[in-house]
Amino acid sequence: MKSTFLNAINQCNEEHIPVWFMRQAGRYLPEYMELKDKHSFKTRTHTPDLMTEISLQPLRRYPLDAAIMFSDILTPLEFMGAEFDFSSGGPKLQNAGESTLRNIQPLNTDDMAFVYEGIGKIKEQIGEKPLIGFVGAPFTLASYIVEGGTSKEFSKVKHFLFSNEKEFSKAMQTLASSVGHYLKAQMQAGVDAVQIFDSWVGFLNQDMYEKHILPHMQELIGIAREGGKPIILYSQPSSHLLTSFAKLQTDAISIDWRVRLDEVAETLDKVGYKGSFQGNLDPVATTLNWEDAKFYVEDVLSRAKKANILNRYIFNVGHGVIPTTKFETIEKIVEHVHSFRN
Amino acid sequence: MKSTFLNAINQCNEEHIPVWFMRQAGRYLPEYMELKDKHSFKTRTHTPDLMTEISLQPLRRYPLDAAIMFSDILTPLEFMGAEFDFSSGGPKLQNAGESTLRNIQPLNTDDMAFVYEGIGKIKEQIGEKPLIGFVGAPFTLASYIVEGGTSKEFSKVKHFLFSNEKEFSKAMQTLASSVGHYLKAQMQAGVDAVQIFDSWVGFLNQDMYEKHILPHMQELIGIAREGGKPIILYSQPSSHLLTSFAKLQTDAISIDWRVRLDEVAETLDKVGYKGSFQGNLDPVATTLNWEDAKFYVEDVLSRAKKANILNRYIFNVGHGVIPTTKFETIEKIVEHVHSFRN
């Protein structure tokens, strides 16, 4: 296999450390901002040619080791009874609340045909380079549906879970099965790996996670496994849930910047985790001049080396890159990571 | 000593487990909302009689074991060159940014005389019941000053710290010394214990915390120690920083709801922490009916028992109570916690 990214996931990478950035497509690139001025978010995510163009933009600038499809974790929800409006900054759901979650409908994965078409087009252009697909995890999607957007405390969705476990579980089942099948369909359309984003699950404690979330994650992953491609799990702040994540035995866990990579590797090793690692750079490092950023990049790399996981580590940020990210710094980071092992 | 709260801090409580709630004063009580309609936030925090009334309101409803003065962690900043506006929901700072932090002035603690007067008035009314004072920790205050309010990623304040350690440290020194002296002055005015709120420091990793924050916290605590009253430290999400917090040897650490109380006690014991524990209830539990909330309350209590820390544990939420908190549930929680050990 030629891809260092896929080799790292398969724990047999002997070449340079692969690197990609969460949110590398969209958000901060001027060529993306141009498209943003011309087309609504819905048009950008629903038009295979625009999705392709935006996914390719960062690869033209930097020698990244993987592409990630441009889309949104909330996109499938519009076919399930919860269409978000993206016109005013963050996502907003008009009819947000428990009853919308209670009435959530299973996804007919055929409704996402425009995404599969985009995947095909991206793959045509990037050849051997791997393409990453993704979904939002059930709890994170449930949070958006009940809260109507992001939240400071996620008290509404947690109130639903804490006061009506049965109905909450029913909705989680629908979400898990839907995104599981959607991941499988992305794999069949050509993605080489997928990432599950569980952005908000860190607001639950470990007991709640194990009792109310883990079974649905297992269901989701079981379905996605039928697609035969590797699965990466991402969440933050996640340090208190890491040993539970290990039980899911995904091919990789993407960790945030709050924890020490070598300590996480040791902790997960102790509980029998067999997968690869991704992430750990503080996203704020990408907003610094290279001379300042270098320290943070080297710290992560040296911890990966110390933990003896260089053949199963993928460099990435611990959370998406931010709008004030510096292009030259990203360029230098990629160069530095690539040369670390050569 | 008659106070179970102070006895628990002094690790010799043999009576019922004491309980108070972060944000027990203000926010969700109808009698507070009435005052809120009549008086601006500034008036409410700057008028000793209003401050007294609001601090006492929750004690009239529930047999809580401590009062906390009604004030705001941002209040001293208006005398230091950063006056926040509270008129539109959350706090907003017009001239937010690095330069405002760079130009922050030391607090003349005499400027806070209205708070000391309020403390005196509260103490007159509550007699033997302990009163808790508080401040915001330097990093949390610096975050508010640079970001201008709350933030999703705290990338601006972190950018300042990551790119200009020296100037950041200078500002942190001013903040640490100022709030240290302010804590001491609160103690001299009559509070029986203080809590340091470091709400946002969890956005840093442990290395950054130890290098750039810990020394300023030690400075702050060193000054406050001259006041001779116990000190509680609060932060969330804090699980990745707990062993660093232990180094501060505060009299108590207030922990969030994400972690397991018994596991935290074990971890901190291993690193030589000698203090007491507070908190751990998920604040969302206070929004449930008592029959649903009971499970979460009992879970925390049973973990305190399992950890053998009942003589040095103070029941509290892991983060402030939320506006949808149910009065009857708070009442039942207090009753249940008080009867647990009898």
Under an 8 A CB cutoff, do A260 and B206 touch?
yes
Q: What is the mean pLDDT of chain A?
A: 96
Judged by a CB distance cut-off of 8 A, whether residue A327 touches chain B is no
- What is the mean pLDDT of the segment spanning A50-68? 98
Judged by a CB distance cut-off of 8 A, whether residue A291 touches chain B is no
Domain count, chain B: 1
Task: Write out chain B residues lying below 8 Å of A159, CB-based.
Answer: 284, 287-288, 324
Q: Which two tokens stand for residue A5?
A: 């990214």
Q: Which two tokens stand for residue B338?
A: 């008080």
The yes-or-no verdict on residue B342 having pLDDT over 80 is no
∠ CA A150-A135-A3, rounded to 5° = 130
CA dist., res. B327 & res. B329, Å (int): 5
pLDDT tens digits along A276-285? 999 999 999 9
CA dist., res. B99 & res. A25, Å (int): 32
A325 Cα to chain B: minimum distance (Å):
10
Residue B234, beta-bridge partner list: B197, B254
Judged by a CB distance cut-off of 8 A, whether residue A160 touches chain B is no
| Torsion angle of the four alpha carbons A300, A305, A307, A308, in this order, in degrees rounded to the nearest 10 | 150
Judged by a CB distance cut-off of 8 A, whether residue B291 touches chain A is no
pLDDT tens digits along A164-214? 999 999 999 999 999 999 999 999 999 999 999 999 999 999 999 999 999
Q: Which of B161, B167, B239, B306 to mutate to test the interface with A (most CBs of A within 10 A)?
A: B239
A34 Cα to chain B: minimum distance (Å):
24
Q: Which of A157, A258, A329 to mutate to test the interface with B (most CBs of B within 10 A)?
A: A258
Task: Write out chain B residues lying below 8 Å of A204, CB-based.
Answer: 258
Count Cβ neighbours within 10 Å for each residue of A139-170 and write b for 16 or more, e otherwise: bbbbbbbbbbeebeebbbbbbbbbbeeeebbe
The yes-or-no verdict on residue B341 having pLDDT over 70 is yes
What band does A48 get if pLDDT is binned at 50, 70 and 90?
A: very high
CA dist., res. A215 & res. A234, Å (int): 17
Q: Which of A200, A210, A239, A256 to mutate to test the interface with B (most CBs of B within 10 A)?
A: A239
Residue A313, beta-bridge partner list: A277
For residues B51 and A88, the model is more confident at: B51
Question: Which residues make Cβ contacts (< 8 Å) with residue B105, sequence separation at least 6?
Answer: B79, B80, B81, B174
pLDDT tens digits along A87-143? 888 899 999 999 999 999 999 999 999 999 999 999 999 999 999 999 999 999 999
∠ CA B317-B322-B326, rounded to 5° = 90
Q: What is the mean pLDDT of chain B?
A: 96
- What is the mean pLDDT of the segment spanning A333-337? 98
Q: Which two tokens stand for residue B119?
A: 């403390």
Under an 8 A CB cutoff, do A258 and B204 touch?
yes
Under an 8 A CB cutoff, do A159 and B260 touch?
no
* CATH number of the domain bearing residue A118: 3.20.20.210
What values do phi and psi take at A320, rounded to 5?
Answer: -55, 150
Q: Check residue B125 and give its pLDDT.
A: 97
B158, B162, B292 member nearest A162 (Cβ): B292
| DSSP output for B239-270 | GGGHHHHHHT--SEEEE-SSS-HHHHHHHHHH
Q: What is the CA A54 to chain-centroid distance, rounded?
A: 17
Q: Which of B284, B296, B303 to mutate to test the interface with A (most CBs of A within 10 A)?
A: B284
Under an 8 A CB cutoff, do A284 and B319 touch?
no
Chain B, nearest residue to A90 by Cα: B152
The yes-or-no verdict on residue B329 having pLDDT over 80 is yes
Q: What is the pTM of this model?
A: 0.96
CA dist., res. A255 & res. A316, Å (int): 9
- Quick check: helix, strand or coil at residue A68? strand
CB B26 within 8 A of CB B54: yes
Task: Write out chain B residues lying below 8 Å of A288, CB-based.
Answer: 159, 162-163
The yes-or-no verdict on residue A271 having pLDDT over 90 is yes
Show the domain range for A237.
4-339
Question: Which residues make Cβ contacts (< 8 Å) with residue B190, sequence separation at least 6?
Answer: B116, B119, B120, B122, B123, B131
Judged by a CB distance cut-off of 8 A, whether residue A240 touches chain B is yes
Rounded to two decimals, the ipTM of the complex is: 0.93
- Quick check: helix, strand or coil at residue B281? strand
What percent of chain A is predicted at pLDDT more than 90? 94
Under an 8 A CB cutoff, do A289 and B163 touch?
yes
Q: Check residue B88 and give its pLDDT.
A: 84
Q: How far is CA A208 from CA A165, A240, B35, B134, in A?
A: 11, 12, 38, 32
Chain A, nearest residue to B290 by Cα: A163
Preceding amide of B230 cis, omega within 30: no
pLDDT tens digits along B54-109? 999 999 999 999 999 999 999 999 999 999 999 888 899 999 999 999 999 999 99
Alpha helices in chain B, H assignment, sequence order:
4-9, 30-38, 41-46, 48-61, 98-102, 113-126, 138-147, 155-163, 165-189, 206-208, 214-225, 242-247, 261-270, 290-306, 327-340
A257, A287, A299 member nearest B159 (Cβ): A287
Under an 8 A CB cutoff, do B284 and A153 touch?
yes
Q: Which two tokens stand for residue B244?
A: 């660093």
Question: Which residues make Cβ contacts (< 8 Å) with residue A335, sequence separation at least 6?
Answer: none
**A-contacting residues in B 256-275 (Cβ below 8 Å):** 257-260
CB A118 within 8 A of CB A52: yes
Q: Which two tokens stand for residue B26?
A: 């203000």
Q: Check residue A261 and give its pLDDT.
A: 97
Judged by a CB distance cut-off of 8 A, whether residue A128 touches chain B is no
Task: Write out chain A residues lying below 8 Å of B240, CB-based.
Answer: 237, 239, 258-259
What percent of chain B is predicted at pLDDT more than 90? 94
CA dist., res. A304 & res. A263, Å (int): 10
